[in-house]
């Protein structure tokens, strides 16, 4: 699991870091305001300062994609909304939020109970953030060992079957997606451009349509045809593939090395940087 992975709620896909941030902010608010007294003025100053970094954090985090993933964002601006980028983008957002809080702190010059309430709240947020980051870091370290490949076959557009053994010796990128999923549609053009790049002639890309989640079984192929996407298309008609690969949200991208072992897995719209890094590990 990574902080930039996503969780899906129907067509809505949210980076894990967002609900975690809401929980941490709520805990910090209650920890700071519990002993705060002095009426509405003190509570207003406390709330204004505590939540001041949120908007700068979100704006800097998302807009940083214009620099780190400029090529893909300019071609498909939808990635600004759906892609979470990587930890670099998150850290840029954190830095922007911290600088704005620093500015607001010296502008408001909180004193007395308000000052200590804010310090208590920020301390709570820092401790919780450290705990969450440590858990995620250790879970990522544990997942670095290559996973064995599930024994599962997909259907191709001609009704035949396909399994990973047919691409033995190549790095394989499986992208589980659905036509109703906005983040899935947003990242498709980037995947197609990488597939057609001569540098990746030993990398095999497959768009695996989660056909069981579609309204009609042909919706996936119809969407790809109408949008001129020419990625090799497979179908997970029964949902066996999603179960075998433990897929909890769409899109999910899995990178498999030339020995047939899973080396990377990410839920949510991926960045070019993440995918290139994963492909290099698979060679």
pLDDT of residue 174: 94
Beta-ladder partners of 8: 13
Residue predicted with more confidence, 135 or 60:
60
Write the CATH number for 218. Answer: 3.40.30.10
Phi and psi torsions of 171, nearest 5°: -75, 135
Domain count of the chain?
A: 2
Average pLDDT score over the chain: 86
Q: Collapse the DSSP code of 258 into the 3-class scheme (helix H, G, I; strand E, B; otherwise coil) and give the result.
A: coil
Closest residue by Cα to residue 265 from 156, 150, 188: 150
- Residue at which a domain ends, from 114, 142, 170: 142
- Residue at which a domain ends, from 87, 107, 142: 142
Domain limits for position 175: 147-282
Q: What gap in Å lies between CA 92 and CA 120, rounded to an integer? A: 24
Question: Which segments of the chain are extended strands (E)?
Answer: 6-9, 12-15, 147-148, 154-156, 161-162, 171-177, 203-209, 233-235, 252-256, 261-267
| pTM for the structure as a whole | 0.80
Residue 1 forms part of a structural domain: no
- Residues 86, 63, single domain; the answer is yes
pLDDT in tens, 158-170: 888 888 777 778 8
- Residues 87, 165, single domain; the answer is no
């Amino acid at each position: 699991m990574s902080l930039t992975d996503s969780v899906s709620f129907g067509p809505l896909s949210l980076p894990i870091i967002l609900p975690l941030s809401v929980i941490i902010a709520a805990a910090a608010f209650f920890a700071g305001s519990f002993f705060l007294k002095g009426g509405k003025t003190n509570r207003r100053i406390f709330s204004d300062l505590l939540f001041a970094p949120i908007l700068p954090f979100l704006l800097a985090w998302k807009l940083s994609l214009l620099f780190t993933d400029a090529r893909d964002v300019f071609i498909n601006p939808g990635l600004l909304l759906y892609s979470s980028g990587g930890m670099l983008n998150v850290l840029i957002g954190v830095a922007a939020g911290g600088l704005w809080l620093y500015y607001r702190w010296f502008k408001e010059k909180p004193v007395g109970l308000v000052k200590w309430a804010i310090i208590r709240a920020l301390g709570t947020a820092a401790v919780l953030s450290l705990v969450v980051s440590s858990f995620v870091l250790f879970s990522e370290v544990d997942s670095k060992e290559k996973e064995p490949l599930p024994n599962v076959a997909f259907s191709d557009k001609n009704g035949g079957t396909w399994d990973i053994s047919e691409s033995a010796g190549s790095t394989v990128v499986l992208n589980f997606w659905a036509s109703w999923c906005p983040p899935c549609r947003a990242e498709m053009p980037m995947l197609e451009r990488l597939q057609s790049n001569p540098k990746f002639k030993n990398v095999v890309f497959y768009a695996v349509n989660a056909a069981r989640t579609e309204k009609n079984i042909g919706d996936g192929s119809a969407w790809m045809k109408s949008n001129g996407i020419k990625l090799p298309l497979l179908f997970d008609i029964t949902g066996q593939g999603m179960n075998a690969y433990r897929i909890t949200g769409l899109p999910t991208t899995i990178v498999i090395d030339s020995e047939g072992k899973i080396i990377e897995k990410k839920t949510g719209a991926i960045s070019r940087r993440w995918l290139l890094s994963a492909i290099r590990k698979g060679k």
